[in-house]
Amino acid sequence: MAYPDIIGKSVPRVDARDKVTGAAKYTADLCPANALVARVLHSTVAHGLVRAVDISEAEKVPGVEKIVTCFDVPDIGFPTAGHPWSTEISHQDIGDRRLLNRHVRYIGDDVAAVVAVDEVAAARALRLIRVEYEELPAYTDVSSALAPDALPLHEEVSDSNIVKQHIYEAGDLDAVRSRADLRHFRHTYRTQPAQHCHIESATSFAWMEGGKICVVCSTQIPHIMRRVIGQALGLPWGSIRVIKPYIGGGFGNKQDVLYEPLNAYLSYIMGGACVRLEISREEVFTSTRQRHAEELDYQAWVDDKGRLMGRDVLVLAQNGAYASHGHAICANSSTVLRDIYNDELATRTEAKTVYTNTGTAGAMRGYGIPQACFAAECMMDDIALELGMDPIEIRKLNMMRPGFVDPGTGIACNSYGLADCIEKGRELSRWDEKRARYAKPQSGNIRRGIGMGIFTYKTGVYPISLETASARLVLNEDGTAQLQLGATEIGQGGDTVFCQMAAAASGLDFERIHIVSFQDTDTAPFDTGAYASRQTYVTGKAIKKCGELFRQKLTERAAARFHRPAEELTVAGDRIADRSGATVVTLADLAEDAFYALDGSEHITAEVTSHCTDNTFAFGCCFAEVEVDLALGRVKVLDLINVHDSGTLINPALAAAQVEGGMSMGLGYALSEEMLYNGEGRLLNGTLLDYKLPTALDVPDLKAEFVVTDDPTGPFGNKALGEPPAIPVAPAIRNAVLQATGVAFNELPLEPKRLVAAFSERGLI
Partner 1 sequence: MLQIIKLTVNGKPCEIAVDRRWSLAEALRQALGLTSVKKGCEVGECGACTVLVDGKAVDSCLYLALWAEGKSVVTVEGLKSGDNDLHPIQKAFIEECAVQCGFCTPGLIMSAVEIVGEGRVYSRDELRKLLSGHLCRCTGYENILNAVERAVREING
Query: Which residues lie closer than 8 Å to 16 by C-beta, 6 or more apart?
Result: none
- Are 61 and 126 within 8 A, CB to CB? no
Query: Which residues lie closer than 8 Å to 455 by C-beta, 6 or more apart?
Result: 336, 340, 369, 373, 377, 619, 620, 621, 724, 727, 728
Q: Cβ closer to partner 1: 82 or 507? A: 82
Q: What are phi and psi of 61, to 5 degrees?
A: -65, 125
What's the CA gap between 341 and 346, in Å, rounded? 12
What's the CA gap between 488 and 219, in Å, rounded? 9
Taking CB under 8 A as the rule, does residue 22 contact partner 1?
yes
Closest contact distance (angstroms) between CB of 657 and partner 1 is: 5
What's the CA gap between 232 and 79, in Å, rounded? 8
Question: Considering only residues 39, 98, 154, 196, which one is a binding residue for partner 1 as defined by CB under 8 A?
Answer: 196
Taking CB under 8 A as the rule, does residue 693 contact partner 1?
yes
Give 26: exposed, middle or buried? Use CB within 10 Å, 0-12, 13-18, 19+.
middle
Closest contact distance (angstroms) between CB of 656 and partner 1 is: 8
Question: Considering only residues 142, 308, 490, 569, which one is a binding residue for partner 1 as defined by CB under 8 A?
Answer: 490
Taking CB under 8 A as the rule, does residue 701 contact partner 1?
yes
Taking CB under 8 A as the rule, does residue 200 contact partner 1?
yes
Closest contact distance (angstroms) between CB of 22 and partner 1 is: 3
Helix 729-741 / helix 431-439 crossing angle, nearest 10 deg: 40
Q: Which helix (H) or strand (E) holds 722?
A: none
What's the CA gap between 334 and 313, in Å, rounded? 8
Q: For partner 1, which stretch binds (CB under 8 A), given 5-13, 135-143, 302-310, 520-528? A: 5-13
Give 133: exposed, middle or buried? Use CB within 10 Å, 0-12, 13-18, 19+.
middle
Taking CB under 8 A as the rule, does residue 115 contact partner 1?
no
Helix (H, G, I), strand (E, B) or coil at 322: coil
Taking CB under 8 A as the rule, does residue 384 contact partner 1?
no
Question: Considering only residues 310, 425, 620, 662, which one is a binding residue for partner 1 as defined by CB under 8 A?
Answer: 662
Question: Considering only residues 337, 503, 656, 733, which one is a binding residue for partner 1 as defined by CB under 8 A?
Answer: 656
Q: Cβ closer to partner 1: 261 or 722? A: 722
Q: For partner 1, which stretch binds (CB under 8 A), given 99-107, 263-271, 291-299, 691-699? A: 691-699
Q: Cβ closer to partner 1: 194 or 232? A: 194
Question: Considering only residues 101, 231, 468, 492, which one is a binding residue for partner 1 as defined by CB under 8 A?
Answer: 492
Query: Which residues lie closer than 8 Å to 369 by C-beta, 6 or more apart?
Result: 332, 333, 336, 455, 457, 723, 727
Q: Which residue type sits at 360?
A: T
Footprint on residues 253-292 left by partner 1 (CB under 8 A): 280-281
Q: Cβ closer to partner 1: 70 or 490? A: 490
- Are 447 and 432 within 8 A, CB to CB? no
Taking CB under 8 A as the rule, does residue 644 contact partner 1?
no
Taking CB under 8 A as the rule, does residue 702 contact partner 1?
yes
Taking CB under 8 A as the rule, does residue 12 contact partner 1?
yes
Q: What is the DSSP string of 101-117?
A: -SEE-STT-EEEEEEES
How many other C-beta atoms are found inside a 10 Å radius of the C-beta of residue 389? 18
Q: For partner 1, which stretch binds (CB under 8 A), given 258-266, 310-318, 464-472, 698-706? A: 698-706
Taking CB under 8 A as the rule, does residue 301 contact partner 1?
no
Taking CB under 8 A as the rule, does residue 362 contact partner 1?
no
Closest contact distance (angstroms) between CB of 36 and partner 1 is: 15
Q: What is the DSSP letter of 97?
A: B
Closest contact distance (angstroms) between CB of 497 and partner 1 is: 13
Taking CB under 8 A as the rule, does residue 201 contact partner 1?
yes
Question: Considering only residues 64, 665, 670, 750, which one is a binding residue for partner 1 as defined by CB under 8 A?
Answer: 665
Taking CB under 8 A as the rule, does residue 1 contact partner 1?
no
What's the CA gap between 470 and 528, in Å, rounded? 10
Closest contact distance (angstroms) between CB of 671 and partner 1 is: 14
Closest contact distance (angstroms) between CB of 382 and partner 1 is: 29
Taking CB under 8 A as the rule, does residue 636 contact partner 1?
no
> How many residues belong to the chain?
765
Nearest to 357 by CA among 15, 653, 48, 94: 48
Closest contact distance (angstroms) between CB of 342 and partner 1 is: 33
Counting residues that bind partner 1 (by CB under 8 A) gives 58
Taking CB under 8 A as the rule, does residue 697 contact partner 1?
yes
Helix (H, G, I), strand (E, B) or coil at 4: coil
Query: Which residues lie closer than 8 Å to 763 by C-beta, 6 or more apart?
Result: none
Question: Considering only residues 180, 582, 598, 696, which one is a binding residue for partner 1 as defined by CB under 8 A?
Answer: 696
Taking CB under 8 A as the rule, does residue 722 contact partner 1?
no
Taking CB under 8 A as the rule, does residue 299 contact partner 1?
no
Q: For partner 1, which stretch binds (CB under 8 A), given 57-65, 146-154, 165-173, 240-248? A: 240-248
Strand partners, 162: 354
- Are 680 and 138 within 8 A, CB to CB? yes
- Are 494 and 540 within 8 A, CB to CB? no
Q: Cβ closer to partner 1: 251 or 716? A: 251
What's the CA gap between 709 and 723, in Å, rounded? 18
Q: For partner 1, which stretch binds (CB under 8 A), given 220-228, 446-454, 459-467, 693-701? A: 693-701
Q: Cβ closer to partner 1: 21 or 90? A: 21
Taking CB under 8 A as the rule, does residue 664 contact partner 1?
yes
**Distances from the Cα of 10 to the Cα of 306, 493, 500, 654, 698, angstroms:** 42, 11, 10, 7, 28
Would you call the peptide bond into 749 cis, given omega within 30 degrees of 0 as the criterion?
yes
- Are 675 and 686 within 8 A, CB to CB? yes
Q: Cβ closer to partner 1: 598 or 697? A: 697
Closest contact distance (angstroms) between CB of 25 and partner 1 is: 7
Taking CB under 8 A as the rule, does residue 364 contact partner 1?
no
What's the CA gap between 229 and 635, in Å, rounded? 45
- Are 711 and 648 within 8 A, CB to CB? yes
Taking CB under 8 A as the rule, does residue 518 contact partner 1?
no
**Distances from the Cα of 473 to the Cα of 419, 522, 554, angstroms:** 40, 16, 11
Closest contact distance (angstroms) between CB of 690 and partner 1 is: 9
Taking CB under 8 A as the rule, does residue 687 contact partner 1?
yes
- HEC per residue, 572-610: EECEEECCCCCEEEEHHHHHHHHHHCCCCCCCCEEEEEE
Question: Considering only residues 3, 139, 189, 246, which one is a binding residue for partner 1 as defined by CB under 8 A?
Answer: 246
Q: For partner 1, which stretch binds (CB under 8 A), given 74-82, 204-212, 381-389, 484-492? A: 484-492
Closest contact distance (angstroms) between CB of 132 and partner 1 is: 31
Taking CB under 8 A as the rule, does residue 21 contact partner 1?
yes
Question: Considering only residues 9, 25, 396, 514, which one is a binding residue for partner 1 as defined by CB under 8 A?
Answer: 25
Taking CB under 8 A as the rule, does residue 220 contact partner 1?
no
Question: Considering only residues 48, 252, 491, 749, which one is a binding residue for partner 1 as defined by CB under 8 A?
Answer: 491
Closest contact distance (angstroms) between CB of 263 and partner 1 is: 17
Taking CB under 8 A as the rule, does residue 29 contact partner 1?
yes
What's the CA gap between 320 and 360, in Å, rounded? 4
Closest contact distance (angstroms) between CB of 30 and partner 1 is: 9
Binding site for partner 1 (CB under 8 A): 10, 12-13, 15-22, 24-26, 28-29, 33, 120, 196-201, 246-249, 251, 280-281, 490-493, 653-654, 656-658, 660-665, 667, 687-689, 693-697, 699, 701-702
